Structure 1
Amino acid sequence: MWWDDSVSIPTSRSLPWPAALPASSRQRVEATLDPLPEHRRTTFALRVARWWDDLLEGLAPYPHPAEVGARVVELAAAAYLARDEDLHLLDERRSLEPDWFQRPEMVGYAAYADRLAPPGTGLAGIAQRAEHLRELGVRYLHLMPLLRPRPAPNDGGYAVADYRQVREDLGTMEELRELARTLRGQGVSLCLDLVLNHVAREHPWAAAARAGDERYLRYFHVYPDRTVPDRYERTLLEVFPDFAPGNFTWDEELDGWVWTTFNSYQWDLAWHNPDVFCEMVDVILFLANHGVEVLRLDAIAFLWKRMGTQCQNEPEVHQLTQALRAAARMVAPALIFKAEAIVGPNEVVHYLGQGRHHGKVSDLAYHNSLMVQIWSMLASRDSRLATHALGRFPAVPSTTAWITYLRCHDDIGWAIDDADARAVMIEGWRHRQFLSEYYSGEFAGSSAEGLVFQANPATGDARISGSAASLAGLGAALHQLAAVEQAGDREQRRVAAMAVDQAVARVLLGYAVIYGWGGIPVLWSGDEVAALNDERWAEVPEHADDNRWAHRPRLDWAAVLEAREDPSSATGRVYAGLRQLARVRAELPHLHASAAAETVASPDPGVFAVVRRHPVGPMLQLYNVTEQPRTVPGWWVSELGLPAEQSVDALNGYPPNLTDDGSVYLSTYQPVWLVRP
């Protein structure tokens, strides 16, 4: 154990450094920390000792892990010296409450800063939305990429030209620090994106490489001809086949081919170079010292390159993430990592830690499959595929949590596994095609208004853009209602009003699944007021070729005010429903992320069922994914540990509706959370 074998006993003249830390590094670290009081120096030394083994194990891909580790500790000491007193206090509190991000009161919100704040106010304007966030129960705010990007095009801000500066139109690093401090005072943790895989062509490292600096040339994958790139291309996938085919770009200034997985202006970093690792450690600690509490590790799956593979999810990715996390823990235990890895179930769990990396990698990971399966159930009115696919996820460490979401800034790729589809007697490719057609409105009877993004004619796959409300058919229903109100036909108005009701119910059902799954449910900005697709998304020249901007609208403050004042409107009902979900969720210990969500096969395929088992008792969640009333037998509910007649629906505080034979009755798109009273 670290406190037995690698730590010297502290005395008034010595600090408890790990024995393997070289003496020369130890001396430099102690000189750096000399201005601090003794208790601060001791705390840092204890943290280094605690995380040293994890750091070295994670650095195993490099030839000399101990040398790189010593460099990391020296960087950490400098960052620790610069850390503000209020952040040291936050570190101590989080060390005593390591499950802070797993608790059921955690609800997240994600937005582009300039589209959340009042126009022209930048980071300073985010604080003006604090009351709005509090009403929604938000404790975690993810502001989409705001570090300085290259000029447009910049992949929505993910082509970072400077990790240490904020976009000029949003403000300064000092304003970011002040915003983080303000949010922290209100119990809200700030999450920012950190793009790990690549930098913009204009980044200083890339500029130095283009100028011929040998040190910085080694920060990138550069080849004099197509020989090596062509060998890699045999097994690589294309991320954006429509507007960024291939994975390498010829650069005249470099006089070579540079690896560019995403776009020609985004240069992949050479993570096999330990200098790149140390640079990114320094960036992470810099952002942590500005008050960032969660870092979304963007494009993390692509870090390590290996010939003959897809160069995604290689074992070294998890090792290096463990090392990054260990370095961050030495300085800022309040900081946690979120892996942006949109991969299959058997791969994504590794980003939370499996095997020897158990619980040592990222603290959070996106549950992309849950989003996909919710939309699949709503289109097919069938829960069997979701029950099977979500049920085969391997267990994740009890100290980690999923990020769950109904929508995000990105498109929806129909990640339906062929084996999962076969298990429930459907064809994977045909179901993916159905979902694309359904949510683009091409399927007969569909009221969805999604936009096709990056269609692949070879496979027939097509990803979909669109807001949650538009995909749920609310836009079409409201248009229909407005048309029949002009005509004055009472029956037609009744049918149209029912369509609006059902669209609202679909949105709230989807979010009920998200809020009930555990982890941190994240609300995408605009969904709280049932925002529809932005019809003017293409008017910004930079956005004209990227229809994902249709579901990235500015927050409509007038709609927020309407939702508050008119709870009977579609926006008002969605707003009130989300507030209620957050309030109920916060009071249910069953929804602590350490308790796993288990899917169970429902007797009625139109009902999706989830069980959560917690020491206070079980919780059974039932979701009617159809527009028709459904029932599940009372005996079946009892076998899951919750006799219906002895339970209450936590969403409304009343016993569930029972039929004459004791079955639980669910109305159109109704969610039910059964617990013991």
Structure 2
Amino acid sequence: MSAFEDLAERVKAHLNVIYSTEDNSDLTHEILRNMRLDEFIATPEPHHNPWTQQDAIVITYSDSIKTEGEAPLKTLRQFLRANLTGFVNGVHILPFFPWSSDDGFAVIDYLQVNEGHGTWNDISAIAGDFNLMTDLVINHCSSRSRWFDNFKKGIEPGASYFVEGDPSHDLSHITRPRTSPLLRPTETATGEKNVWCTFSHDQVDLNFANPLVLLEFVKIIRFYLDRGAKIFRLDAVAFLWKDISTSCINLPETHEVIRLIRTLVEHCNTEAIIITETNIPNRENISYFGNANEAHMVYNFSLPPLLLHTLVSGDAKALKGWLMSMPPAQAGTAYLNFIASHDGIGLRPAEGLLSSEETHSLAELMERNGGKISWRSVDANTMKPYELNIALWDAFKSTFTHADDGHQLARFISAHTIMLAIEGVPAIYVHSLFGTSNDYQRAENTGHNRAINRHQWDLSALQDALEDSDSHHAQVFAELKNLLTIRKGQPAFHPNATQFTLHLGDHIFAFWRQCANRQQSIFCINNISDQAQSISLSDINLIELDAWWDLLTSTQLTRDQKTLELSPYQSVWLSNQNYHQIAPSGET
């Protein structure tokens, strides 16, 4: 059997699960032709890890940094090249397409760059400098898109591209991330129709039960690959498939669509990566790994709320319990770690990990710190806090017990020190790099809570802030660049290196990492409280024959040292190998 025939069989097997009542032979060949897999087929290696400890991603909008009179994508590339080369090697540019709402996630045209931001040449130029991560906004599109306009007119492409619902049906069992009505009444050429809108009435859900919709996205994926995209973020993919008899989340067909996309993408480029954006409870989230045949990476969505709670409470129990429960990612898969993003800090991933009382207390504290709360409907009469909308810098302003204790910077750096050491690939939101504060004016102007954490910097103002050594912006930037520099030199920080949780008391969050060849071990020990802590080195069980270094201070433990003294929110990375600033081989 030829490589093409073998791939065709695999693709058809995926389609037979998705469209079980159809003969999918023609669709199989149409998909392969549109992916140009009838011309060239790469040979992906099973369980291959196309990432090392040198990988780190920055998350940004195309216009997060602006210069008057210059296309924002050009400004962004200029800033990234000048300031982040050597510190991060990947950039996630949030939706840069024409859009109508939700800061890009209501896409009008998937094949165009927002003309106010730049061109495809600008995107490709950034992809030439960094591993480019792009959004595949796959669950829904804008109500102002050509497809939806055609839906209203009753012509293709578009007439059959959207999910319709019957308002007389009981829809209360459908999982919702928002409080708006699920169905949007829409006038069409053939009368009023009720269109499914999981998120907002400007974001109309696409009908993947129609193979033509799947084929459209196959073409879009190939288009992005041709322009340099390497990493695909499948936005809101958990809601993709609709079945009125279910909760319409995490359905088998959704998982199979992801398996199909992985098969297609990695046969085009063996280094390409699929990431699922599934802001849902932890166990459901990690199911998107499949058997190392679905997402290459899943977001570690439980980390942000748990780490925030840990550092503002001074209690590591919940975070330790979660870390112990996390299965190691199989070879060929990895966690994507983050603690802030363009969205808020989701609370659903903390369900079962934090109590309702702890979640509500955290939400109240974030409001005191200047943040806002977004809610979701549980049923017709009940709403729960869904998301904390706050800049991460302000989230650490105060704790449950102290309004202003002078430790804001220390807590902020501690959070990133922990995130950078945990198993997985780190992703840092651009505003966390600078310690950007809440943007109340932007939130007020847009009327959207999430805008509070979507500030737009003027490049000259940002450069002034980063050059002012007394500003917290400069201090945060310098600290994070130092952490990234140290991290990428440590084989034990490979995204798939061994990890074990340590138990050193409720005020200490600690874990152990070891690379595959066992030559390097790192004990990551973090004081998550506002009180000094003393740790007996006998409790860590350091191998006495080895010399041990704190990588963060480049200091060596003395042979007769019995304890480790930690200041409030201090971290140490104790290693038996001092690889600081030595270029790693990439081996684990």
Pair in the same fold by TM > 0.5: yes
Aligned to 1:256, what secondary structure does the other structure show? Answer: strand
1:22 — aligned with what?
none
Which amino acid is 2:62 matched to? A
In the alignment, the residues of structure 2 paired with residue 275 and residue 261 of structure 1 have an alpha-carbon distance, to the nearest angstrom, of 21
Structure 1 residues 80 and 620, CA gap change in structure 2 (3 angstroms) = farther
Aligned to 1:104, what secondary structure does the other structure show? Answer: coil
Structure 1 residues 164 and 462, CA gap change in structure 2 (3 angstroms) = closer
Give 1:252-401 correspondences, 5 Å limit: 252-253=187-188, 255-353=192-290, 358-401=291-334
* Displacement of 1:164: 0.6
Q: Is the 8 A contact 2:47 2:333 kept in 1?
A: no
Structure 1 residues 612 and 52, CA gap change in structure 2 (3 angstroms) = farther
1:107 — aligned with what?
56
Aligned to 1:361, what secondary structure does the other structure show? Answer: coil
1:148 — aligned with what?
98
Structure 1 residues 449 and 539, CA gap change in structure 2 (3 angstroms) = closer
Q: Is the 8 A contact 2:176 2:198 kept in 1?
A: yes
1:584 — aligned with what?
486
Which amino acid is 1:606 matched to? H
Match for 1:636 among 532, 535, 539? 539
1:650 — aligned with what?
551
- C-alpha offsets along residues 37-63 of structure 1, whole Å, 9 cap, x if unaligned? xxxxxxxxxxxx4x4454233222213
1:45 — aligned with what?
none
1:221 — aligned with what?
163
TM-score with structure 1 setting the length: 0.77
In the alignment, the residues of structure 2 paired with residue 390 and residue 666 of structure 1 have an alpha-carbon distance, to the nearest angstrom, of 22
Structure 1 residues 450 and 599, CA gap change in structure 2 (3 angstroms) = farther
In the alignment, the residues of structure 2 paired with residue 80 and residue 569 of structure 1 have an alpha-carbon distance, to the nearest angstrom, of 55
1:76 — aligned with what?
35
In the alignment, the residues of structure 1 paired with residue 39 and residue 317 of structure 2 have an alpha-carbon distance, to the nearest angstrom, of 51
Matched, 1:158 2:105: yes
Q: Is the 8 A contact 2:335 2:424 kept in 1?
A: yes
Give 1:216-255 correspondences, 5 Å limit: 216-223=158-165, 225-227=166-168, 230-231=169-170, 233-241=171-179, 245-253=180-188, 255=192
* Displacement of 1:397: 2.0
Q: Is the 8 A contact 2:375 2:384 kept in 1?
A: no
In the alignment, the residues of structure 1 paired with residue 511 and residue 47 of structure 2 have an alpha-carbon distance, to the nearest angstrom, of 28
Structure 1 residues 211 and 555, CA gap change in structure 2 (3 angstroms) = same
Match for 1:405 among 320, 338, 342? 338
Q: Is the 8 A contact 1:529 1:559 kept in 2?
A: no
Aligned to 2:158, what secondary structure does the other structure show? Answer: helix
* Displacement of 1:314: 1.1
Which amino acid is 1:246 matched to? P
In the alignment, the residues of structure 2 paired with residue 399 and residue 468 of structure 1 have an alpha-carbon distance, to the nearest angstrom, of 31
Matched, 1:669 2:569: yes
In the alignment, the residues of structure 1 paired with residue 151 and residue 326 of structure 2 have an alpha-carbon distance, to the nearest angstrom, of 43
* Displacement of 1:200: 1.3
Query: Greater RCO between the two (CA within 8 Å, min separation 6)?
Result: 2
TM-score with structure 2 setting the length: 0.88
Structure 1 residues 561 and 168, CA gap change in structure 2 (3 angstroms) = closer
- C-alpha offsets along residues 477-518 of structure 1, whole Å, 9 cap, x if unaligned? xxx9xxxxxxxxxxxxxxx8xx44x11111110111111113
In the alignment, the residues of structure 1 paired with residue 545 and residue 413 of structure 2 have an alpha-carbon distance, to the nearest angstrom, of 23
Matched, 1:139 2:89: yes
* Displacement of 1:212: 1.3
- The count of corresponding residues between Structure 1 and Structure 2 is 563
Q: Is the 8 A contact 2:282 2:350 kept in 1?
A: no
Aligned to 1:293, what secondary structure does the other structure show? Answer: strand
* Displacement of 1:147: 1.3
Which amino acid is 2:481 matched to? R
Structure 1 residues 132 and 623, CA gap change in structure 2 (3 angstroms) = farther
- C-alpha offsets along residues 532-583 of structure 1, whole Å, 9 cap, x if unaligned? 112321453xx1x212111111235456535654445422321111011111
* Displacement of 1:296: 1.1
Q: Is the 8 A contact 2:47 2:292 kept in 1?
A: no
Which amino acid is 2:374 matched to? F
Matched, 1:522 2:423: no
Match for 2:14 among 33, 58, 61? 58
2:496 — aligned with what?
594
Q: Is the 8 A contact 2:389 2:450 kept in 1?
A: yes
In the alignment, the residues of structure 1 paired with residue 391 and residue 353 of structure 2 have an alpha-carbon distance, to the nearest angstrom, of 27
* Displacement of 1:275: 1.5
Which amino acid is 1:199 matched to? C
1:168 — aligned with what?
115
Which amino acid is 1:234 matched to? S
In the alignment, the residues of structure 2 paired with residue 429 and residue 657 of structure 1 have an alpha-carbon distance, to the nearest angstrom, of 46
2:370 — aligned with what?
449
Q: Is the 8 A contact 2:147 2:157 kept in 1?
A: no
Q: Is the 8 A contact 2:312 2:398 kept in 1?
A: no
Q: Is the 8 A contact 1:657 1:666 kept in 2?
A: no
Aligned to 1:621, what secondary structure does the other structure show? Answer: strand
* Displacement of 1:658: 10
Aligned to 1:255, what secondary structure does the other structure show? Answer: strand
1:194 — aligned with what?
136
CA RMSD of aligned residues (A): 2.9
Aligned to 1:240, what secondary structure does the other structure show? Answer: coil
More helix as a share of residues = 1
1:11 — aligned with what?
none
1:487 — aligned with what?
none
In the alignment, the residues of structure 1 paired with residue 246 and residue 177 of structure 2 have an alpha-carbon distance, to the nearest angstrom, of 15
* Displacement of 1:118: 2.5
Match for 1:465 among 362, 385, 389? 389
In the alignment, the residues of structure 2 paired with residue 581 and residue 171 of structure 1 have an alpha-carbon distance, to the nearest angstrom, of 32
Which amino acid is 2:30 matched to? R
Aligned to 1:665, what secondary structure does the other structure show? Answer: strand
1:610 — aligned with what?
511
2:584 — aligned with what?
none
- C-alpha offsets along residues 263-302 of structure 1, whole Å, 9 cap, x if unaligned? 1122111111211111111110011101111111111101
